[in-house]
Structure 1
Amino acid sequence: MYKNLAKIIREASSVYANEPAFGIKRTGKVFETRSFQETYEMATNLGYALLNLGIQPGERIAIIADNRYEWILADLAIMMVGACDVPRGADVSDFDITYILNHAEVKTIFVENRKVLELVQKNQANLPLLEKIILLESSNALPNHCFNLYDLIEKGKEYRKLRPNEMDEKINSIQENDLFTIIYTSGTTGQPKGVMLTHKNIVSQLEFMPIAISPADRVVSILPIWHIFERVFEMIALSKGCCTYYSSIRTLKDDLKIVKPTFMASAPRLWESIYAGILANLEKASLSKRILFNTAYFFAEQFHGSLQSIRRKTLRLKRENLSIQLVQGFFDILICLFSAFPFFLLDRLILKKVRDVTGGKLRGSVSGGGALPYHVDLFFNHIGIPVLEGYGMTETSPVIAVRTLDDLVIGTVGPIFKGTEIRIVSLETQKVIYPGKNGYAKKGEIHVRGPQVMKGYYNDEVATKKIINDGWLNTGDLGIMTFNHCLKIVGRSKETIVLLSGENVEPTPIESKLVQSPLIDSVIVVGQDQKFLSALIVPNTEMFLEYGKDLPTIAAHPKTKEILLQEVKKLISAQTGFKSFERVIEIRILPKAFELGDELTPKLSVKRNVVQNKYKEIIDDIYKSN
C-alpha cells in the first residue's frame, strides 16, 4: 500500500473511475451521485487554485463545516498539495475560532456558509494571521479576500493547463510522516489540544482494517465528518471503491430506506434512538403483535446465544474447565437445533420488518465514540443487525480495537487492531499486568503503541510528554483482556467523561464552578457513557440547618435537593459559558462528607475512582430510569 493518502486516492480514482463515490441529497428523496473520477478532478482543480493562491506544503488550512460534498473536495485538495487541514464543525464558538486558528497559525480557512463567515468576520480583529476565506456554498457579493469554492475550481482548471504535471509532483513528494490533519480536542479547560496525525497514521488504519469493504457496499455518513472516526471511515470507503451517502439526523430515517446501506459508522446514541423507537412502536401495537415479536425475539436470543457459545464467542472472564465446556457445548447444540426452525420462520415473518428500519440490507455497523449499552448491543445483534463496537481515541487515529463479524464478542470492543501493541498497567503498582502469563481478566490502565499513535500535540511538548512515553500512549482508560483475546473497557483512570453522544467533557471546570456556591461543600460530576451529566453533592450544612442538625438528616430532606438542583442549573448554563452537553441534569445528595485518607488525597483532591466505586449504587440509580 502507498505511504501517503493522496497516492491512495489518486489510484482509487483511476481504478473506480466511473463508479459513484458520493451521494448528495437533492430536493425530494433523490440522491445525486458524483463519480470517483469527477470527485478527483474537482479536487485536483481546487488544489491547483490553492497553489495559485500561494499555499505551501505543511501549511495549516482550517475547514469549518459540517458533512457535505464540498467538505471532502476541500479536504482532498488540501491533502494533495501537501498542506495540513485543521477541521471543526459549523457549531464553533467565538473561543474555538480565535484560539484554534491562532494556535495552528492558520492563514486560509474554508467556511461552510454565510453564518460561519459572519462569525469569522466578527472575530477577524483577533485573527492577525488570517488572509483568505473560502466559502463552500455559492454566494454573490463576497467581501475582500473571500473566494467561492466553485469559482476557485474553475480558476484551477486554467492554472492546471499551464503546469499539468505539478499536482502529481506534489502528491509524489508527500512523505509518510508529513502532517495530514490537526484535530483539536473539545476540552472545557480553556485550551483544547491539537492532535497531530500523519499520513502514516491514517494509512495504517486503511491497511489493517479487518472488516471487508468492497465497491458493492453503500455507506451512509451521519457522524460529524471532522471527527477522526467518520473521517477515516470515509477514507476507507474512497480507497475501497464504495459510495458514501451524506445524511443528517433529521433525514436519516428516510435516507436509510432510500439508500439501503450495507455498512455505516455509528455512535451508541443512534442505536439507542432506534431501539427506543422500536419499543415505542411495540407498545402501541396490538397484544397479538407484541406476543409475536416477543416470541420471535426469544427464539432469536436462544439461537444466536447458543451459536455464539458453540463458536466460543461469548464473553469469557474466567479460565474454563474442559469438562464444563463439553457439557455446556452439548446443551448449546441442543438449544441451537431446537430453536433453529422457529427462529428462521419468525425471523422471516417478524424480525425482517424490524431490520427494514435500517433499510434491510445492513450487514454491519461499527459503533464508536462511547460505550454501547449492553442491552442495546444484545438486541441488535440478536435481531440480525451486527453492531461491531470499536475502541479508540483521536490520538490513535482512532482505532485500537474493533469487533469483526468473525470476532463478535458482545460486551467487548473486540481483538486488538493489527500492528498494534497494548499493555495493561496496574494503577496500584504501575507494573505491566498484560501481556503476561496471568494477565487475563485483570483490570488496569490501557497503554498503546503502534503506527496509529499521533505525532504529538501541536506546539505543546509538555502535554505530549505527559501522554506518550517511549512510544507508549497512555489512553487513560481502564480495561481487561478477556480469555477470548478481546479487550473489554471497564472505566477511566483519567478525569475526562465521555458521554453516550461521544462528547468529551472535562468535569473539573464544572466542579470548580459549583463549589463556588456557598450551598455546596464538595461535588463530583459523573456521567461516563451516559446521556447526560449528574452530580454527587455534599451540601454545606451551615446553609441548611433548618432542614436538620446533621448531614444525613439534611441530605434526606427533599427541600435540600430541590434548592441545590436550582443552584446547579443556575451555575452551569449557557449564560455562565457552558455548552449544552456540559449541563448537569440530575443530582444526588451524599450523607457523608469527603474525608482525608478516604475520598481525599493529602493535597485534598477528590479521589474520583474511590467516590464512584463507593457510591456506585447511587450513580446507577440516577440513570436507571433515564
Structure 2
Amino acid sequence: MNTIPQIIREVQTKYPDLNAQYYRKSKGTPFISRSFADFYQDSLDFGAGLLSLGLQKAEPVGLLSDNRREWSVADIGIQACGSADVPRGRDISDGEISIIYGITNCRFMVAERDVEVNRLVKAKKDLPDLKTVIVMQDYKNVADISDFSVISFEQVIELGKKYRETNPVEIENLVDDGKKEDVATIIFTSGTTGLPKGVPLTQANYLSHVSGGGERMGTEPGDIWLTMLPVWHSFERIVQYIALGNGVGLAYSKPIGAIMMKDFADINPQYTTAVPRIWESVYRNIQKKMAAASPIKRILFSFFVSIGGVYARLDNLYKGLTPRFKKRNRLFDKIVSAIPRLLLMPINAFGRNVVLKPIRSLFGTNLKAAVSGGGSLQKKIDLFFAAAGICLMEGYGLTEAGPVIAVRNLATLEAGTVGTPFPGMEVKLIDEDGNECPPGKMGLIFARSVQVMKGYYKDPEATAKVLSEDGWLNTGDLGVMTYDRALAIVGRIKDTIVLSDGENIEPVPIEKHLAYSHFIDTAVVVGQDQKHLGALIVPEFTNLQEYAKENGIEYEGIEDLIQLPEIKALYRKEIDNEVGHHHGFKSFEHIHNFILLTKVFEVPRELSAKQELKRTEVNKLYAKEIESIFS
C-alpha cells in the first residue's frame, strides 16, 4: 500500500458491510451508519466531482470545517485524486484565512456553513485564485457573490456520479497511481507566537501510523471509535486514519459534555480520543455530583478512589511498569509490592465493580481504551480513571513529526510517561552541551523517522531552524527518558522561566503538581526576569464553595469569596503542600506569591482549540494581575 485511499480500498474490500461512519443528521436524531463500501464510494464520487470541476493532480484544496462525516469523505476524495487538502477549523481567524489560503493558491475550497462562505467572500481580495466554494450545510444566508461560484456538497457528489458514468475508471486509476511521496495534506500550525507555518505531510508520513497504531491499540475490525476533537489537528486526524485503516468505524461527536456523554451511551464505543481538558471536565463534573451527595456516599467514593489510586501504583510496581528514571531492582519492587497489592486486591475490586461502576458506565460497556493527547495528563486525573477501571493511553507528538512520536502500549501501559517511541521512530535527548542524555536526565527531544516532515511549506529558513540535514527534528520540548525507553514530557523550552539570578525553571511540572490540589483547577506559573516565582490560580470553584459552606464562611459572590483572608490562607497552604521540598522541588521553585482568578479558562481566550494553554495570551490578558503579584 502506498496511500491512505489505497488502504481504505483494501479495507472496504475485506469488510464491505462493516460500518465506517456513524453520524446524526441533526441534534437529537438517532445515529445513522454508513458502511466501508459506501464510504469509499462516497469519497470516490466526491473526488470525481472535483475532477469534473477541473481539479488538477497535486493541486491543494482548502478544507474549512470542524469534525463531521463530510470532512472524512472530502479528505479521502481529495487524496484519491492525487491532490492535497489544506484543512482548518471554524475557529480560524480572518487573518489566517487570508494567509493560509492565499499562500497555497487554492482554487477550490470546501466550507462547512454559510458563515464560512461569507468569511471567504470578505477575504476574496487576498484569495485571487479562489474560483469554487463547496458547502457542506445549507447556505441560505450567503452574501452576494460575483467572484467565485458556490455549490453544495451533495451537488458535487452527484456531479461525481455522472462523471464516473462517462469516465468509469479515471478516479480508480488515480488511486492506483498514488505514490508514497505524494503530498496528502498541508497543515498550518496555529501561529500563536508568529505567522502560521505550513507542514506538508506525504502519504509516507501517514502510512506507518496505520499499522503501528493498530498494534499499540489492539483494535479489531468492527470496533467503534468515538471522535470529537478538531480533525484539522494532526492528533485527531491520524487517529481517524488508524481507525479506518484497521476496519474501525468512526462515530462523530462534539467535545461538549452533554453531547459527548449521550453519544457514549448511544454508540457504546470501544475507543475514544480526547485532550486532558476534556478528562478534567469529566472529573470535575463527577466531583460536583459527589459534592451534592450524602455524607456516606462522599466518604465511600473518596475512600475507594484513594484505594484505587494506591492499588494502581502497587500494581504497576508489581508488574514492572513503574517508570525507571533511576536504576531500580524490578525483583525487589515485585517483592515489596506483592503483599500490600494482594491485601488491597479484593477491596479495590469491590470499589471498582460496585462503588465506582457508575463512572465506568458513563462511557458505555465496551470501552477498551481512551487516548489522551495534545498535552500532559495531571497525575490525579490519571489515577482517578485508573481507579474506576478506565484505561487512558497517553501519547505525545507534534504536527511536524507526522504526528505521533510516542504512545503508551495498551498491553503494557507505562504509567507516568507518554510511552515508548512509536514503531519506526528514533528519539534522542540532548543536553545544553550538545551531548546525548542518559536515562533520568532532562534534555531537548529530537525525533527522526519517515513520518517526520521534509520541511515547512515555502519556508526554508524556518525549516533549517528545526530540521537537521540528517533528518533530526528539534521538537522544542523537554523530556526525560526512562531505562526502559519510555518518555516523560517536562515542558517546552520556550516556556522556560529564567529568574533574575539566572536560574532556569520549567513551569509545567510545577503547574501539574499544583493541580493535584482538590481546590485548584488550573495554575499558570510566572516570573520571567523576577527574583522569584508567582502563580495565577484558577480555583476549583465547586470544591471551594463546598469548603466555604462546610466552614460557615459567608460571602456575596466569587469575587468576594476569593478575597477573604481564610480563603487566601487555604490556598497558601495548598500551594506550599504541593510545591515543596517534600515533593522534590528546590527552594527557587517555591511559589512566593499568587493571585486567585474569578473565571475558568476558555477557548479561544486562554486555551487553543486543542484545549492547550496559550501561555503568551495568558501573559497578555492577565498582565495587570501578574504585575500585582510582583509589586
Q: Which of the five TM-score ranges fits, normalised by the shorter chain?
A: 0.7 to 0.9
The answer to whether 1:397 aligns with 2:402 is yes
Aligned partner of residue 494 in structure 1, secondary structure: helix
Matches within 5 A, 1:373-522: 373-427=378-432, 429-433=433-437, 439-469=438-468, 470-495=470-495
2:189 equivalent in structure 1: 185
The answer to whether 1:223 aligns with 2:223 is no
1:555 equivalent in structure 2: none
CA distance in 2, matches of 1:3, 1:371: 33
CA distance in 1, matches of 2:100, 2:457: 11
1:150 equivalent in structure 2: 154
Q: Which runs of 5+ in 1 are unaligned?
A: 434-438, 498-506, 508-523, 540-559, 567-571, 594-626
CA distance in 2, matches of 1:216, 1:338: 39
Aligned partner of residue 202 in structure 1, secondary structure: helix
Aligned partner of residue 474 in structure 1, secondary structure: strand
Matches within 5 A, 1:96-175: 96-139=96-139, 143=145, 145-175=149-179
The answer to whether 1:279 aligns with 2:287 is yes
The residue type paired with residue 312 of structure 1 is: G
1:4 equivalent in structure 2: 3
Q: Which runs of 5+ in 2 are unaligned?
A: 498-504, 513-521, 531-592, 599-603, 607-611
2:21 equivalent in structure 1: 22
The answer to whether 1:60 aligns with 2:64 is no
Matches within 5 A, 1:320-335: 320=328, 322=329, 325-335=330-340
Aligned length: 527
TM-score (norm 2): 0.78
8 Å Cα contact 2:594-2:629 kept in structure 1: no
* CA-CA distance at 1:588 after TM superposition: 3.8
CA offsets 1:484-538 (integer angstroms, 9 cap, x no match): 321111122235x9xxxxxxxxx9xxxxxxxxxxxxxxxx997797757665477
User: CA, structure 1 residues 159+95, in 2 after alignment: closer, same or farther (shift >3 Å)?
Assistant: same
- Out of 276, 294, 304, the residue aligned to residue 302 of structure 2 is 294
User: CA, structure 1 residues 484+122, in 2 after alignment: closer, same or farther (shift >3 Å)?
Assistant: same
8 Å Cα contact 2:491-2:507 kept in structure 1: no
TM-score (norm 1): 0.79
The answer to whether 1:232 aligns with 2:238 is yes
- Out of 298, 308, 313, the residue aligned to residue 316 of structure 2 is 308
Matches within 5 A, 1:26-45: 26-45=26-45
CA distance in 2, matches of 1:141, 1:47: 27
CA distance in 2, matches of 1:561, 1:592: 9
CA RMSD of aligned residues (A): 2.9
Aligned partner of residue 432 in structure 1, secondary structure: coil
2:559 equivalent in structure 1: none
Aligned partner of residue 129 in structure 1, secondary structure: coil
User: CA, structure 1 residues 109+373, in 2 after alignment: closer, same or farther (shift >3 Å)?
Assistant: same
Aligned partner of residue 445 in structure 1, secondary structure: strand
CA offsets 1:78-128 (integer angstroms, 9 cap, x no match): 010000000000122110111001111211101110000001001112211
The residue type paired with residue 16 of structure 1 is: Y
CA distance in 2, matches of 1:373, 1:206: 28
The answer to whether 1:361 aligns with 2:366 is yes
Aligned partner of residue 344 in structure 1, secondary structure: helix
User: CA, structure 1 residues 399+46, in 2 after alignment: closer, same or farther (shift >3 Å)?
Assistant: same
* CA-CA distance at 1:296 after TM superposition: 2.3
CA distance in 1, matches of 2:263, 2:383: 25
Moved more, 139-148 or 392-401: 139-148
8 Å Cα contact 1:525-1:534 kept in structure 2: no
CA offsets 1:303-359 (integer angstroms, 9 cap, x no match): 332221111101222112x4xx54542231111221222222232211111111222
CA distance in 1, matches of 2:220, 2:23: 20
User: CA, structure 1 residues 95+589, in 2 after alignment: closer, same or farther (shift >3 Å)?
Assistant: closer
